[in-house]
Amino acid sequence: MKIGIVHASPKHGKNSTESFAHVLANMLPEHEISHLRVKDARWNQKEESHLVECDALVLCFPLYIDAVPSHFLFVLQEWEIIFKEMHENKPKIYVIVNCGFFEGEHTRVVFEILKNWCHKAKLEWGMGLGIGAGPMFAQAHAGDLNQRPNAVLAEKIRTMADVIDQLETADTIYISPNFPKFFYIHMGNLGWVLQAKKNGLRKKDLHVKP
């Protein structure tokens, strides 16, 4: 089976979207995987053949104001036209969205947006995976996926991989860290302090108004 994994983060280099996409790809070793990267609204149209030949298409991107990143929205509008003109063998759509919020449920609205897009493009919706605390999981996943906090991430991505493997449809899954929210906020605040020190600033400099 041919599976297209779309990396639609506007960030260049290593990012959370890339991390989760590769974890999923590694869980589907028996399939032919194509990685399509969409960094801006001018996507590489030479990859259209990969797009239309896929049995499953996995859209991976970060949440931007409860919605799709603007550059990818333009691309989806182009893809909508392409898929509408196809009369058979259309890919089934799966989506992984990550956000910086603690609760994965913050991605709920964007899945409704993508379901509406599927309806307009005459595509079949497969499943969504909403990942809260995305940057934290992305940084941690380089370690043992069987250890906290990675274990919950690995379990849910494995569930999605199994659904894709059978081209099935399943309910959207939301992931949040399995530790208290206050600890996540504390670590986030500590991260700002550490970044300030790396740039020659002090903690009190973070509160200076321009």
Q: Over 80: is that where the pLDDT of 151 sits?
A: no
What whole-number distance in Å separates Cα of residue 162 and Cα of residue 169? Answer: 11
pTM for the whole thing? 0.84
Max avg pLDDT among 45-54, 124-133, 139-148, 187-196? 124-133
pLDDT tens-place string over residues 163-208: 999 999 999 999 887 666 655 565 665 666 667 777 777 766 666 7
Cα Rg for the chain, rounded, in angstroms?
Answer: 18
CATH code that applies to domain 2-179 = 3.40.50.360
Token output for 157: 């991505």
Of 29-38, 96-105, 163-172, the one with minimum mean pLDDT is: 96-105
Residues 6+ positions from 134 with CB-CB distance below 8 Å: 16, 20, 62, 98, 99, 100
Does residue 28 or residue 132 have the better pLDDT? Answer: 28
What is residue 89's predicted lDDT score, i.e. its pLDDT?
A: 85
What whole-number distance in Å separates Cα of residue 38 and Cα of residue 75? Answer: 8
Of 35-44, 83-92, 102-111, the one with minimum mean pLDDT is: 35-44
Residue 35: phi, psi to the nearest 5?
-100, 120
Query: Do strands 92-98 and 124-131 pair parallel, antiparallel, or not at all (unpaired)?
Result: parallel
Mean pLDDT on 121-127: 93
pLDDT tens-place string over residues 66-99: 888 888 888 899 889 888 888 788 899 999 998 8
Of 106-110, 140-144, 175-179, the one with minimum mean pLDDT is: 140-144
What is residue 94's predicted lDDT score, i.e. its pLDDT?
A: 96
End-to-end CA distance of the chain, in Å? 55
Domain segments of the chain as ranges: 2-179, 181-210
